[in-house]
Amino acid sequence: MNSHFPQTIQEAKEFQKKIANKVILEDMLSEIKTIGAFDISYKQDKAFTAGIIIDNATEEVLEEEVIVSEIQFPYIPTFLFLREVPSFIALLSKISIKPDLVLIDGHGIAHPKNAGSATVFGVLANIPSIGVAKKPLKFFEYSSSEVKYLKQVFLNEKFVGYKYQPNTNWNPVFISPGNLVSVKSSFTLIQNLFKSRFKLPAPLHKAHNLATEFRNKHLT
């Protein structure tokens, strides 16, 4: 992948267009036995990328892995995939259990190029993926849904995901399909993974903690 991965912003723009054209917004999974969750914690010039695989029925953690890499790109709004996706792809190759679905801490098609980190990862890895982001993009517009704590997210008048805020004391999260998942299913497939004490789906919460703990141990 690295030989074809963009190295400049101009290359990244063209790359996002190609990725967006390859996205499949259909549910291309029959049964979800295992779910993966990937997150990254940063410190100085290092990226600590953590992944866990859970049993979808029991929520038991079946496997966990952390890799450490050098940060290759600075943070650039709407181009976060440049610094994240290579690490996600590398992490996936280290995990022995290929998950049926992967949750990514980041946006999917709810992105001005319809190609956030979850989408780029899902297309490159050819795996069903869903993005769960903690911050909105300024381009978002919202419409109420039948559920009071759930709003539909629109981008250029296109329905791209959901704003989810079950607890008014928490900031909302923004859910959208990455690849091989429909917009509607991007929430319904993971709604049971949200627990009352976590604002993220439980697998992503655990991946976040794993990345943070490994980072703190590594740098002490």
- Give me the residues of the chain with pLDDT under 50, please: 1-3
**8-state DSSP, 2:** T
The C-alpha atoms of residue 100 and residue 79 are separated, in whole angstroms, by 26
User: Do 214 and 169 form a contact (C-beta atoms < 8 A)?
Assistant: no
What is the residue-wise DSSP string for 162-207? EEE-SSTTS--EEEEEEESS-HHHHHHTTGGGB-TT-SSBHHHHHH
Residue 198 is predicted with a pLDDT of: 81
Residue 101 is predicted with a pLDDT of: 98
What is the residue-wise DSSP string for 100-122? SEEEESS-SS-STTS--HHHHHH
Residue 83, classed as helix, strand or coil, is helix
Domains, the chain, in order of start with CATH, read 9-218 (3.30.2170.10)
Question: pTM for this structure?
Answer: 0.94
Residue 203: CB partners within 8 Å, gap ≥ 6? 35, 36, 37, 52, 54, 103, 193
